[in-house]
Amino acid sequence: MTSQWPPLRPLKTGIRGLCPRCGRGHLFEGFLTLKPACEVCGLDYSFADPADGPAFFVICFTCVPAVAVACWIEVTFNPSPLLHLFTSLPLTLLACLLPLRPLKGWLVNSQFFYKAEEGKIDRDYVRPKTVPPDADRE
């Protein structure tokens, strides 16, 4: 007997680290390691491959601004290295680590929701003949 699962929005379930199919099981074991399958509905998570996507988004959208703030603190206030140890280092570490898990969950759930899969080359595809640009002027 196959049961129908309602589609769940990836943002809603992904950032909370929940199963993309049932929304009740957990996605992670540990900080970033995916479980083999959902403990509630049994969905196999082997389809999921977010690769470097979470790290890319974190670097672009949170780490770069955090380092920019650290540079601004240095240029504006010229603090001692000890002050950077207590301000810039924690800011940068938190900016790097906190968004990783929600982003990975969102990307995995988006892969499931949109049925993403590895690209395949269709060797039987026949390219349509191109029409000259002047053909429709007659």
Reduce the secondary structure of 34-83 to three states and give it as a string.
Answer: ECCECCCCCCEHHHCCCCCHHHHHHHHHHHHHHHHHHHHHHHHHCCCHHH
| Closest among 42, 1, 52 to 19, alpha carbons compared | 42
In a domain, 123, yes or no: no
- The structural domain count of the chain equals 1
In a domain, 130, yes or no: no
Position 97 scores a pLDDT of 94
Boundaries of domain holding 90: 10-116
The pTM of this model reads 0.79
Per-residue pLDDT of the chain in tens (138 residues, 90 and over written 9): 346 889 999 999 999 999 999 999 999 999 999 999 999 999 999 999 888 999 999 999 998 999 999 999 999 999 999 999 999 999 999 999 999 999 999 999 999 999 998 888 878 877 777 766 665 565
In a domain, 1, yes or no: no
In a domain, 132, yes or no: no
